[in-house]
């Protein structure tokens, strides 16, 4: 493989009307509005439904645990399940995912344990799972920085003729960052197998998209980089899956990167420390709640006779089991070793860190001795 | 191409050759790429041009565009994609072209390059090298002559080294590329054309060690990169006044070699640190504090700093007034009371 790729730069603007395969009432959409994409088969849709139901139950549970003080913070993805789950379901275990802090439910779908996903929000460590085992990078907090990692890893894999794809999620606010531009540009110039998903959920904390960009759609940005862009109804999991799946297949076949904008809405606050009533009207939230991604798919599957009562009950049970497991893990006291603070900074041993580690160790021993003395005196 | 590493075989030393520091760095990159096919090199203009300082001269011809290539002009993109490449198992060596051009990559450096290993409890380490041509005295215009070492050295997780001569340049770059920790490899531009004779592949002292480059008994000058020559010239001049000055080339800025420096300072009882960067909050402050904390009872005078002024780096025609000179070093030594 060489960097001397054939350039097929793209000039077509994405459609202004978002691509949609299921409308709000759960009816199949055909023709131009479907953007040439086909509704996924019913087994795939049932699986996407299951994943979204489990994800929402998890999200609701974690928000509740945050209110109980079990987590320091939690950025909810309630209402964004179609974006989160549709896109992540389009990549395989061998592919790499580069998430942001809001993408916990995508990590859950990726098979990562709740305790691992939430370690950083609970405050145990900055990351709680094995990146290599799950082929999933840490949840990035600085905006758009992880998109460059996705491009770099994709390029390295391509040089090794390893047919994997990288996928990264960005928020609407992140598109204003320089690293978003650099990532889009590097990916397009190097023709890396990378899928960028911009989850346009309306707000960057409190700043609306209208104050973030003058572009008609965020997907329009793709044109300037010479890659395809798709503007998709982000509350339609069928469309999200179909469009990202096509982008993943194209990337895997050597067709380069794709930029996808999923148009959705953040129902909850930015995090538990946010007050969304200061910057948005409840009628907007109600409007978006009526466009719920799970209900939409459920209506379709029920109307198709593809979701029996028994199946729904079984899925609900599975979701409850995940919630129960999450409660169990997050209410147990974390076992932390302060001395581990020094263990992973460098691969090579560093004298100054060993000295500082010894100092903390002595302080801890001292504190333990005093505690024992006090306990003895109290008896 | 396979994903396996090939450890360097015990190589046969070449006949002694005369090399500049730029040539030695070029040879180090060539030998590292030869020894390990995971090593890739990219940055701005490193391909057909061979880099603006010709450090990558001829490498693309030899290794092809899959191993060394020109990237888009974007430093955050260069470092950020190198993070991803290192995550995959490559060993990217990227170039920042000029010191002050590295600032757009600052976030990637401090938020990801420095923290990835710690964040992941050692499961994901980033074996990458960021080469930064640094410091002044080449008549560069604004943004071409900064000394950014303190930004990197105050960032836990980064290893920061700066060679001062061609043999160290070769040896330390090879070691930096072999290191599983990310390394900021600073190359003093004013030394790129300095020459030395060596047999490749030369291996000098380990990358994390300081080296006594001139023995003395009366005082220790602590220098690195471009100021090692300044220190040696000052020491020569001081010898004419019967002062025996020891010169230590720090080589590794982070980690700091307390052992070698401490041994020298305890022998001479006086120390001064020399750097081109501004003084306030600069690297010399760390050196002076460490040396004092650990060797106070051996010191017979305060640790001095001979540095650039606390000003933005001046224009080419004024830089000679800013940079530390041997005379300034001697004048500083005169401020000590030499009563013992």
Of A2, A160, A183, the CB nearest to B65: A2
pLDDT at A378 over 90: no
Task: Calculate mean pLDDT across residues A82-107.
Answer: 98
- Whether residue A360 sits in one domain with residue A248: no
The CA distances from residue A379 to A295, A366, A367, A374, in Å, are 61, 20, 19, 9
**Per the CB < 8 Å rule, is A152 touching B74?**
no
- With cut-offs at 50, 70 and 90, classify the pLDDT of residue A8: low
Residue A16 belongs to some domain of the structure: no
Least Cα separation, residue B269 to chain A (angstroms)? 23
| Strand partners for B221 | B247, B272
The Cα–Cα gap between A112 and A95 comes to 15
CATH code, domain carrying A54: 3.40.50.970
- Whether residue A292 sits in one domain with residue A182: yes
- Measure CA A109 to chain center: 10
Please give the residue range of the domain that contains residue A59: 31-331
The CA distances from residue A315 to A46, A86, A319, in Å, are 10, 17, 6
**Per the CB < 8 Å rule, is A178 touching B111?**
no
- B312 at A interface, C-beta within 8 A: no
What pLDDT is attached to residue A7?
Answer: 56
Least Cα separation, residue B216 to chain A (angstroms)? 27
In three-state secondary structure terms, B127 is: coil
What pLDDT is attached to residue A10?
Answer: 75
Residue A19 belongs to some domain of the structure: no
- Whether residue A137 sits in one domain with residue A102: yes
The Cα–Cα gap between A165 and B298 comes to 60
Q: In this structure, are residues B133 and B187 in contact, taking their beta carbons and an 8 Å threshold?
A: yes
Q: In this structure, are residues A326 and A61 in contact, taking their beta carbons and an 8 Å threshold?
A: yes
Tell me which chain A residues have a C-beta less than 8 angstroms from the C-beta of B121.
Answer: 125, 127, 340, 343-344
Question: pLDDT tens for residues B5-36?
Answer: 444 455 567 888 999 999 999 999 999 999 99
Residue A236 belongs to some domain of the structure: yes
Least Cα separation, residue A352 to chain B (angstroms)? 8
- With cut-offs at 50, 70 and 90, classify the pLDDT of residue A1: very low
Of B76, B121, B255, the CB nearest to A344: B121
- With cut-offs at 50, 70 and 90, classify the pLDDT of residue B2: very low
Query: For chain B, what is the total number of helices (H) and then of strands (E)?
Result: 12, 14
DSSP-assigned letters across all residues of B167-222:
HHHHHHHHHHHH-SS-EEEEEEGGGTT-EEEE-SS---S-TT--EEEE--SSEEEE
Count Cβ neighbours within 10 Å for each residue of B227-252 and write b for 16 or more, e otherwise. bbbbbbbbbeebeeeebebbbbbbbb
What pLDDT is attached to residue B6?
Answer: 46
Task: Calculate mean pLDDT across residues A150-174.
Answer: 97
What pLDDT is attached to residue B10?
Answer: 53
- B294 at A interface, C-beta within 8 A: no
- Whether residue A243 sits in one domain with residue A126: yes
pLDDT at A153 over 80: yes
**Mutating which of A141, A346, A353, A355 best tests the B interface, going by the most B Cβ atoms within 10 A?**
A346
**Per the CB < 8 Å rule, is B84 touching A346?**
no
Q: Output the six-digit token pair for B220.
A: 């220790």
**Per the CB < 8 Å rule, is A149 touching B180?**
no
**Per the CB < 8 Å rule, is B119 touching A126?**
yes
What pLDDT is attached to residue B69?
Answer: 97
Task: Calculate mean pLDDT across residues A238-265.
Answer: 97
Burial of A281 (0-12, 13-18, 19+ CB in 10 A): exposed
Polymer length of chain A: 379
**Per the CB < 8 Å rule, is B84 touching A161?**
no
**Mutating which of A96, A131, A181, A344 best tests the B interface, going by the most B Cβ atoms within 10 A?**
A344
- Whether residue A189 sits in one domain with residue A123: yes
Domains and CATH numbers, chain B: 17-198 (3.40.50.970), 211-334 (3.40.50.920)
ipTM attached to this prediction: 0.93
Least Cα separation, residue B101 to chain A (angstroms)? 15
The Cα–Cα gap between B262 and B298 comes to 10
pLDDT at B211 over 90: yes
Task: Calculate mean pLDDT across residues A222-251.
Answer: 97
Residue A321 belongs to some domain of the structure: yes
Of A125, A347, A351, the CB nearest to B258: A351
- Catalytic residue, candidates A110, A270, A291, A296: A270
**Per the CB < 8 Å rule, is B179 touching A127?**
no
- Whether residue A344 sits in one domain with residue A232: no
Of B64, B157, B258, the CB nearest to A345: B157
pLDDT at B105 over 70: yes
- Whether residue A342 sits in one domain with residue A308: no
Of A145, A159, A340, the CB nearest to B111: A145
The pTM assigned to this predicted structure is 0.94
pLDDT at B277 over 60: yes
- Whether residue A189 sits in one domain with residue A312: yes
Q: In this structure, are residues A147 and A179 in contact, taking their beta carbons and an 8 Å threshold?
A: yes
Backbone angles phi, psi at B187, to 5 degrees: -115, 110
Question: pLDDT tens for residues B153-183?
Answer: 999 999 999 999 999 999 999 999 999 999 9
- Whether residue A220 sits in one domain with residue A347: no
Q: Which residues, including other chains, have CB under 8 Å from residue B306's CB and lie 6 or more apart?
A: B272, B273, B274, B324, B328, B329, B332
Catalytic residues of B: 144
Residue A26 belongs to some domain of the structure: no
Task: Calculate mean pLDDT across residues A300-307.
Answer: 96
Domain finish residue from A293, A316, A331: A331
- Whether residue A274 sits in one domain with residue A371: no
Closest CA to A314 of A75, A46, A71, A118: A46
Chain B residue nearest residue A355, CA to CA: B258
Per DSSP, helices labelled H in chain B are 21-35, 59-63, 75-88, 106-107, 116-119, 149-153, 166-178, 227-239, 258-268, 283-295, 319-322, 326-334
**Mutating which of B88, B92, B119 best tests the A interface, going by the most A Cβ atoms within 10 A?**
B88
Of B80, B116, B122, the CB nearest to A152: B80
- Whether residue A113 sits in one domain with residue A181: yes
Report the domain count for chain A: 2
Chain A residue nearest residue B113, CA to CA: A149
| Strand partners for B188 | B134
CA dihedral A122, A123, A129, A135 (to 10 degrees): 90
In three-state secondary structure terms, B45 is: coil
- Whether residue A342 sits in one domain with residue A327: no
Q: Which residue has the higher pLDDT, B138 or B4?
A: B138
Is residue A189 reached through a cis peptide bond, with omega within 30 degrees of 0 on the bond before it?
no
Q: In this structure, are residues B65 and B41 in contact, taking their beta carbons and an 8 Å threshold?
A: no
Is residue B255 reached through a cis peptide bond, with omega within 30 degrees of 0 on the bond before it?
yes
Strands B245-249 and B211-214: antiparallel
Least Cα separation, residue A57 to chain B (angstroms)? 28
CB contacts < 8 A, A to B, total 148
**Per the CB < 8 Å rule, is B156 touching A345?**
yes
Residue A9 belongs to some domain of the structure: no
Q: Which residues, including other chains, have CB under 8 Å from residue A207's CB and lie 6 or more apart?
A: A173
Residue A5 belongs to some domain of the structure: no
Task: Calculate mean pLDDT across residues B212-225.
Answer: 98
Tell me which chain A residues have a C-beta less than 8 angstroms from the C-beta of B73.
Answer: none
Least Cα separation, residue B62 to chain A (angstroms)? 15
Interface of B with A in 189-218 (CB under 8 A): 208
Residue A37 belongs to some domain of the structure: yes
């Amino acid at each position: 493989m060489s960097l001397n790729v054939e350039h097929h730069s793209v000039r077509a603007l994405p459609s202004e009307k978002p691509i949609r395969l299921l409308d709000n009432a759960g009816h199949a959409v055909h023709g131009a509005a479907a953007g040439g994409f086909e509704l996924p088969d019913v087994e795939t849709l049932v699986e996407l439904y299951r994943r979204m139901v489990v994800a929402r139950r998890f999200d609701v549970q974690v928000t509740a645990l945050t209110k109980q003080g079990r987590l320091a913070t939690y950025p909810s993805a309630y209402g964004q399940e179609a974006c989160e789950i549709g896109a992540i379901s389009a990549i395989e275990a061998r592919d790499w995912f580069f998430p942001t802090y809001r993408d916990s439910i995508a990590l859950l779908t990726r098979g990562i344990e709740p305790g691992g996903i939430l370690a950083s929000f609970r405050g145990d460590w900055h990351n709680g799972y094995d990146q290599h085992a799950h082929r999933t990078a840490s949840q990035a907090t600085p905006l758009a920085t992880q998109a460059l990692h996705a491009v770099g890893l994709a390029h390295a894999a391509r040089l090794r003729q390893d047919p994997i794809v990288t996928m990264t999620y960005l928020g609407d606010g992140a598109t204003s960052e320089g690293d978003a531009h650099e990532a889009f540009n590097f990916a397009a110039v190097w023709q890396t197998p990378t899928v960028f998903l911009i989850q346009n959920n309306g707000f960057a904390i409190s700043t609306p998209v209208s104050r973030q960009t003058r572009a008609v759609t965020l997907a329009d940005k793709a044109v300037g980089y010479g890659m395809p862009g798709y503007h998709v109804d982000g509350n339609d999991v069928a469309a999200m899956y179909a469009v990202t799946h096509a982008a993943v297949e194209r990337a895997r076949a050597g067709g380069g990167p794709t930029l996808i904008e999923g148009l959705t809405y953040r129902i909850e606050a930015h995090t538990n420390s946010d007050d969304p009533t200061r910057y948005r009207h409840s009628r907007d939230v109600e409007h978006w709640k009526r466009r719920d991604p799970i209900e939409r798919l459920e209506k379709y599957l029920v109307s198709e006779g593809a979701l029996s009562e028994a199946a729904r009950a079984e899925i609900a049970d599975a979701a409850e089991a995940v919630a129960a497991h999450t409660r169990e893990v997050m209410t147990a006291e974390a076992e932390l070793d302060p001395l581990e603070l020094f263990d992973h900074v460098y691969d090579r041993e560093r004298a100054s860190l060993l000295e500082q580690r010894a100092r903390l160790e002595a302080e801890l021993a001292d504190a333990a001795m005093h505690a024992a003395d006090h306990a003895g005196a109290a008896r | 191409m396979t994903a396996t590493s090939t450890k360097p075989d015990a190589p046969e030393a070449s006949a002694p050759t005369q090399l500049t520091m730029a040539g030695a760095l070029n040879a180090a990159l060539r030998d590292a790429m030869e020894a390990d096919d995971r090593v890739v090199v990219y940055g701005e203009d490193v391909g057909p041009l061979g880099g603006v300082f010709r450090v990558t001269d001829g490498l693309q011809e030899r290794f092809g565009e899959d191993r060394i290539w020109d990237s888009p002009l974007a430093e955050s993109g260069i470092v950020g994609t190198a993070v991803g490449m290192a995550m995959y198992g490559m060993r990217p060596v990227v170039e920042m072209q000029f010191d002050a051009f590295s600032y757009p990559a600052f976030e990637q450096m401090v938020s990801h390059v420095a923290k990835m290993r710690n964040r992941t409890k050692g499961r994901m380490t980033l074996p990458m090298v960021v080469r930064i041509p640094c410091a002044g005295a080449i008549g560069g215009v604004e943004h071409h002559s900064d000394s950014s070492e303190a930004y990197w050295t105050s960032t836990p997780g980064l290893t920061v080294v700066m060679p001062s001569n061609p043999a160290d340049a070769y040896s330390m770059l090879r070691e930096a590329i072999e290191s599983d920790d990310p390394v900021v490899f600073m190359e003093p531009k004013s030394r790129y054309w300095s020459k030395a004779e060596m047999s490749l592949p030369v291996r000098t002292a380990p990358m994390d060690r300081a080296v006594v480059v001139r023995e003395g008994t009366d005082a220790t000058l602590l220098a690195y990169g471009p100021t090692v020559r300044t220190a040696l010239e000052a020491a020569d001049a001081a010898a004419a006044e019967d002062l025996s000055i020891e010169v230590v080339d720090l080589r590794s800025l982070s980690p700091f070699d307390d052992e070698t420096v401490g041994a020298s300072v305890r022998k001479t009882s006086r120390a001064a640190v020399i750097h081109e960067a501004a003084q306030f909050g600069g690297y010399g402050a760390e050196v002076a504090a460490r040396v004092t904390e650990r060797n106070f009872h051996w010191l017979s005078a305060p640790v001095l700093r001979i540095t650039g002024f606390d000003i933005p780096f001046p224009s080419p025609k004024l830089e000679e007034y800013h940079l530390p000179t041997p005379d300034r070093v001697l004048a500083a030594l005169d401020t000590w009371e030499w009563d013992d």
